[in-house]
């Protein structure tokens, strides 16, 4: 018998809307799992069971009174602790913000509440969503990292402590944790989910994203969040992509699939060549390896050069003025970046445009790109969250990317297949991902 907290979000939603289960019963199932496991996994930084139950009870009462259920009615969700919530702390993973209580909800929190979600609590993030790790461990092997910076959000979904969760990616913080923890993760096109009320790290690169246990679960929550918001100055005019409806219309023929290694493959573990040879063999004649050279040779350095001056602009004062309250890893990451020249930053912004144009040209000959979601299995040890190298280019150009938990490494740990789409074509990316998901 499937436990309630082991249902997919869509399965649970159908039972909630059909009154086969209550929001309170579902929330209690997730709270029981949290009570049993989170002392080991450490996905939550803030959790108030009574508050979660009160939200669920209110939803049950509303449904009993005849109010139509929302698109996320009764589903327990975790929020990365960089997203403001008026009814619980938001500490940005830092001692500097200990006990901080925002006055208002972030746009993401408001949209989730309006859709009927139960916001269970706040999930662990690295400090300021950079790289200084929190307490979270990989639920598949507690000696290994869950990745970062969205470590609690990924580990919590993987360990059945929440149905869905929200994280963010500035370098590799959505896709890598999903790969390490063996779940589905989605970083949408830049500017499609509002960042209003989210702790900024690097405005040109910050992407909110979502986690779930199926592609359909990702689509379910993303459809709620991909709403235009004038409070985020980088929002696309029409961010909604109708992802759930898109998944209901499968492809009529196989897409053209380009497998790329690119400059990031230098970090790939020895097992990755054989694993992805098997992936290509399984996908068949419509999948071909394509070289990423030329302008892409400098893409990884370009991402760093765009990111770090923005990081200094947003958290540099904390590092300089309150170093005793800042994690040593945050200080290490930033110490050499205070003197970056403005001319070098401008050159990086211009190179970013060239790299983005080159990515668009790749889609003249391919419908979708695939590569690894991470260098390999989650590394042993909790001092580092792993290498973000396999996400950097796609974050730089704002392309949608999805990781599919389809591979297993030599130590039995999960490894994801990353599916990348053309920027702005998230619906197509989901349809192509669904095809690849079904084949693999």
Give per-residue pLDDT as tens, 189-239: 999 999 999 999 999 999 999 999 999 999 999 999 999 999 999 999 999
Predicted pLDDT of residue 39:
98
Task: Give the burial class of 40: count Cβ atoms within 10 A of its Cβ; 0-12 exposed, 13-18 middle, 19 or more buried.
Answer: exposed
Taking CA atoms, 182 is separated from 70, 298, 415, in Å, by: 29, 30, 7
Three-class SS state of 433: helix
354 is catalytic: no
378 pLDDT tier (thresholds 50, 70, 90): very high
Residues 146 and 136: beta-carbon distance below 8 Å: yes
In the set 94, 131, 153, 173, the catalytic residue is: 173
Three-class secondary structure of residue 282 per DSSP = helix
8 Å CB contact between 309 and 346: no
Q: Give the pLDDT confidence score for residue 252 in this predicted structure.
A: 87
Cis status of the peptide bond prior to 149, with omega within 30 of 0: yes
Q: Which of 22, 106, 149, 401 is catalytic?
A: 149
Phi-psi region of 293 (alpha: psi -120 to 50; beta: other; left: phi over 0): beta
Is 150 an annotated catalytic residue?
no
Positive or negative: CA dihedral 57, 153, 12, 65: positive
Q: What is the pLDDT of residues 29-44, one digit of tens each?
A: 999 999 999 999 999 9
Whole-number pLDDT of residue 390? 98
- Which one of 22, 80, 106, 392 is the catalytic residue? 80
Distance CA 345, CA 118 (A): 42
Per-domain boundaries in the chain: 4-247
Q: Is the pLDDT of residue 1 over 80?
A: no
Give the residue-averaged pLDDT of 125-143: 98
- Cβ partners under 8 Å of residue 226, min gap 6: 188, 192, 193, 239, 240, 241, 243, 426
Judge contact between 37 and 161, C-beta under 8 A: yes
What tokens does 380 get? 């042993």
Q: pLDDT tens for residues 73-102?
A: 999 999 999 999 999 999 999 999 999 999
pLDDT of residue 2: 87
| Residues 287-299 pLDDT 10s | 999 999 999 999 9
Residue 315, helix vs strand vs coil: helix
The pLDDT value recorded for residue 271 is 98
For residue 131, indicate whether it is catalytic. no
Instruction: Output the CATH code of domain 4-247.
Output: 3.90.1300.10
Whether residue 356 is predicted with pLDDT greater than 90 in this model: the reply is yes
Query: Does the pTM of the predicted model rise above 0.95?
Result: yes
- Helix spans in 183-290 (H): 215-225, 243-247, 271-283
d(CA 334, CA 279): 38
Mean of the pLDDT values across residues 427-433?
98
State residue 211's pLDDT score. 99
Residues 6+ apart with CB under 8 A from 411: 141, 377
Q: What is the pLDDT of residue 259?
A: 98
Q: What is the mean pLDDT of the chain?
A: 97
H or E element that contains 186? strand 184-187
The answer to whether the beta carbons of residues 239 and 193 sit under 8 Å apart is yes
- Rounded Cα distance between 347 and 364, Å, is 27
DSSP tag of 216 = H
């Amino acid at each position: 018998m499937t436990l309630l907290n082991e249902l997919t979000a869509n399965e649970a939603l159908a039972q909630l809307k059909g009154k086969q289960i209550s929001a309170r019963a579902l929330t209690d199932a997730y709270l029981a799992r949290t009570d049993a496991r989170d002392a080991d996994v450490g996905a939550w930084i803030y959790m108030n069971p009574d508050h979660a139950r009160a939200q669920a009870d209110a939803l049950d009462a509303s449904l009993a009174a005849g109010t139509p259920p929302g698109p996320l009615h009764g589903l327990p969700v975790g929020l990365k602790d960089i997203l403001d919530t008026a009814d619980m702390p938001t500490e940005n993973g830092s001692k500097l913000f200990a006990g901080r209580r925002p006055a208002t909800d972030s746009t993401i929190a408001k949209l989730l509440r309006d859709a009927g979600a139960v916001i269970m609590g706040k999930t662990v993030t690295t400090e300021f969503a950079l790289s200084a790790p929190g307490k979270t461990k990989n639920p598949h092997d507690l000696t290994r990292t869950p990745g970062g910076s969205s470590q609690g959000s990924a580990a919590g979904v993987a360990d059945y402590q929440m149905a869905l969760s929200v994280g963010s990616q500035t370098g590799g913080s959505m896709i890598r944790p999903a790969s390490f923890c063996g779940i589905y993760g989605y970083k949408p096109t830049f500017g499609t989910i509002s960042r209003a009320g989210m702790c900024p790290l690097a405005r040109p690169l910050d992407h909110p994203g979502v986690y779930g246990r199926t592609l359909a679960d990702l689509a379910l929550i993303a459809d709620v969040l991909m709403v235009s918001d004038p409070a985020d100055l980088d929002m696309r005019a029409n961010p909604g992509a109708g992802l759930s409806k898109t998944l209901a219309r499968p492809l009529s023929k196989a897409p053209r699939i380009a497998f790329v290694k690119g400059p990031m493959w230098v970090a790939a573990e020895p097992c990755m060549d054989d694993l992805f040879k098997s992936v290509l063999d399984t996908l068949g004649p419509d999948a071909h390896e394509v070289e990423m050279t030329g302008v892409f040779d400098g893409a990884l350095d370009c991402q760093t050069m765009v990111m770090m001056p923005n990081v200094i602009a947003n958290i540099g004062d904390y590092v300089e003025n309150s170093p005793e309250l800042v994690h040593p890893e945050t200080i290490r990451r930033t110490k050499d970046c205070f003197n970056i020249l403005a001319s070098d930053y401008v050159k990086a912004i211009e190179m970013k445009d060239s790299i983005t144009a080159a990515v668009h040209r790749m889609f003249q000959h391919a419908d979708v790109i695939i590569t690894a979601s991470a260098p390999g299995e989650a590394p042993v040890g909790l001092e580092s969250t792993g290498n973000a190298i396999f996400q950097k280019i796609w974050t730089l150009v704002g392309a949608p990317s999805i990781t599919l938990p389809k591979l297993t490494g030599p130590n039995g740990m999960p490894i994801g297949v990353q599916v990348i789409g053309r920027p702005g074509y998230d619906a197509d990316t989901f349809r192509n991902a669904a095809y690849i998901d079904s084949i693999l």
